[in-house]
Amino acid sequence: MNTTEKKTERSRFFGIGKLLPWLVPFRKTIFWMIVLGILSSLIDAVYPLFNRYALDHFATGKTLDTLGIFILLYVIVLLLQVIDNFVTTYWCGKVEMGVDRTLRNAAFSHLQTLSFSYFSKYSVGYLHARVMSDTEKIGGLCAWHLMDTVWNGSYLICVLVLMFALDASLTLRILPLIPVAALLIWYFQKKLIDLNRRIREANGKITGDFNEGITGAQTIKSLAVGDTMREHFEKDTEEMRTLSVHAGRTSALFVSTVTMFSMFALAVVLYQGGALTLQGFLRVGTLSAFMSYAVGMMEPIQNIINTISQLIAIQANIERLSDLLKTQSDVTDTREVIDKYGDVFHPKTENFEPLCGDVEFRDVSFRYPDGDEMVLSHFNLKVPRGTNVAIVGETGAGKSTLANLVCRFYEPTDGQILIDGRDVRERSQTWLHTNIGCVLQTPHLFSGSIRENLQYGKTDATDEEIYRALDLVSAGDVVRRMEHGLDSEVGEGGDLLSLGEKQLLSFARALLADPRILILDEATASVDTVTEKKIQDAIRTIIQGRTSFVIAHRLSTVVDADIILVVKDGRITERGTHRELLEKHGYYYELFTRQFEETAADLV
């Protein structure tokens, strides 16, 4: 391992330090957890001394003079342990859930502040694992793993101190077994961790095969590849079986080795201690205590090494969550803007100025954060309030770039974007987003009722206002025909509705907010021809008095736009009205003619 790798491993091992700021609210509870953990280990270490006393005084001494005091002390210690275990378990659960909740809230809140570029880089599954799985493991680390380490470590120390106090020479004979046992346990632990990781990977393959076999059943049958899929599945299950058998064999050898060392330690005690007892140098009760300690030492050693292994494994979770929390958004408000307008969670709406809708691109150049080439280069465009701007081009040409910049989902690499004559960076993102309505090609509805979804556009909207917005997009009758009307559930992501119905509701939600700038990103692409005609009629009414950016693939929907921007290979190659662009006989003319011929062919 080179120097850089060693530094990386060292920094990961001490990654627990990154959690300290999140543990501050729980510092008192954690402190008393540690105190009670030490007390619990001390109580557990004291129990063999009770046996020692009983054997030396009641059994061999044949006297019951102190039996009452003995029983009283034993019961007191037992009650202390019960209370200690109850309180410790309660506090561990409290810390685990508290840290888990704090980290999840922090991660989810931080995600709300990040720009689109972050979400385009990481998948939903990756982010879900950070917010849910990683925080859960870290919560367990801060509670149960911490307590395990405290208990096992303090118990081992207590046992060694008591053994030396009882008989130092006998303790020194057992002591060399501890490092040898620790090394063997560490070796087996590393092997088991590696095997379990490979088993999880194999299980993931099996799950993937199963999902593909079910979701792709129709394709599998149509291609007649059932045998191939079965062979893949059997191969992956055989791999998991082999690994699981190997892990079981290693685990059995591990347990046997630990047991062997425990028995070896016991044999040393019996051999040496028995001789000392027969010679009268060691009492029977002391020998019994030594036997308990010798056998019991191996378990805390095993637990400590297991906890260290878990800690090393959890470093990856800590690193990933830490990286998420320290990620800075590509789009941020300045300190002065936040002081005046507030942030996304605490907006100062009383300072929000009205937005009129004048938009200007002033010498704007733009390159996506993960891109190498400029998408826009020294682009200039003035869009007076109330102007309908259409952005057209083939699929994948980059039509959404301008809309993303207007919404400030991305910042321009150079130049300025002005809203009502002021740079958008002089006012907050929240101010801008409350004045922009977006209808995307793939609509998203939140779990809940239709009313709850539409009220995201206007939280205090009445049923009358909601139906007015629905009627404008020809969705009012659709909702009225539903059994529960506005209280009808849409399902997770709107799964209980058709794609067209979801698009109509998404459209109505945007209108309900009464935005001054309207972004329609292929808003009619998911609806049928009849519904599209209704929405197009509604759009002509809706965009009156509003600045609108209509991203469209079907050129027939934008012929009435005030200005059309033609995008090709991520660049704006033409601009003008529909008639002006046709007269140029350029790229727009080719697109329009091709679509017209395709439509005519479909009608034949």
Q: What pLDDT, in 10s, does the model give residues 534-584? A: 667 767 767 778 899 988 877 877 888 999 998 887 678 899 999 999 988
Please check whether residue 568 is in contact with residue 407, taking contact to mean a CB–CB distance below 8 angstroms.
no
Helix (H, G, I), strand (E, B) or coil at 441: coil
Rounded Cα gap, residues 589 and 596, in angstroms? 10
Helix (H, G, I), strand (E, B) or coil at 266: helix
Over residues 513-533, mean pLDDT: 75
Helical H runs in 487-577? 499-512, 529-542
pLDDT of residue 61: 64
Q: 204 versus 69: which is more confidently predicted? A: 69
Most confident listed range (33-37, 227-231, 488-492, 494-498): 33-37
Look at residue 313 and tell me whether its pLDDT is greater than 80. Answer: no
φ and ψ at 600, to 5 degrees? -65, -40
**Cα 473 to the chain's mean position, in Å?**
37
Rounded Cα gap, residues 302 and 181, in angstroms? 9
Rounded Cα gap, residues 33 and 39, in angstroms? 10
Look at residue 381 and tell me whether its pLDDT is greater than 80. Answer: yes
Look at residue 56 and tell me whether its pLDDT is greater than 70. Answer: yes
- Looking at residue 416, the DSSP 8-state letter turns out to be E
Look at residue 75 and tell me whether its pLDDT is greater than 90. Answer: yes
pLDDT of residue 528: 65
Over residues 256-268, mean pLDDT: 76
Look at residue 14 and tell me whether its pLDDT is greater than 50. Answer: no
Q: Which residue is associated with the tokens 């027939």?
A: 556
Question: For the whole model, what pTM was predicted?
Answer: 0.75
Look at residue 229 and tell me whether its pLDDT is greater than 50. Answer: yes
Task: Return the bridge partners of 564, or none.
Answer: 390, 576
Across the chain, what does the average pLDDT equal? 83
Q: Which residue is associated with the tokens 């080439």?
A: 373
Please check whether residue 117 is in contact with residue 368, taking contact to mean a CB–CB distance below 8 angstroms.
yes
- pLDDT band at 31; cut points 50, 70, 90: very high
CA distances from 188 to 183, 248, 262, 306 (A): 9, 12, 16, 10
- pLDDT band at 124; cut points 50, 70, 90: confident
φ and ψ at 132, to 5 degrees? -105, -60
Report the chain's terminal Cα–Cα distance, integer Å.
Answer: 70
Cβ of 198: how many Cβ atoms within 10 Å?
A: 17
pLDDT of residue 99: 92
pLDDT of residue 526: 57
pLDDT single digits (tens) 179-199: 887 788 788 878 887 887 788
Please check whether residue 299 is in contact with residue 155, taking contact to mean a CB–CB distance below 8 angstroms.
no
Cβ of 379: how many Cβ atoms within 10 Å?
A: 21
Which range among 346-355, 408-417, 463-472, 489-498 shows the weakest confidence by mean pLDDT? 489-498
- Looking at residue 544, the DSSP 8-state letter turns out to be T
pLDDT of residue 447: 87
Q: 570 versus 443: which is more confidently predicted? A: 443
Q: Can you give the length of the chain in residues?
A: 604
Please check whether residue 535 is in contact with residue 474, taking contact to mean a CB–CB distance below 8 angstroms.
yes
Look at residue 21 and tell me whether its pLDDT is greater than 80. Answer: yes
Number of helices (H), then strands (E), belonging to the chain: the values are: 25, 10
Which range among 274-288, 439-453, 570-584 shows the weakest confidence by mean pLDDT? 274-288
Q: Which residue is associated with the tokens 């910042």?
A: 411
Please check whether residue 181 is in contact with residue 301, taking contact to mean a CB–CB distance below 8 angstroms.
yes
Please check whether residue 180 is in contact with residue 303, taking contact to mean a CB–CB distance below 8 angstroms.
no
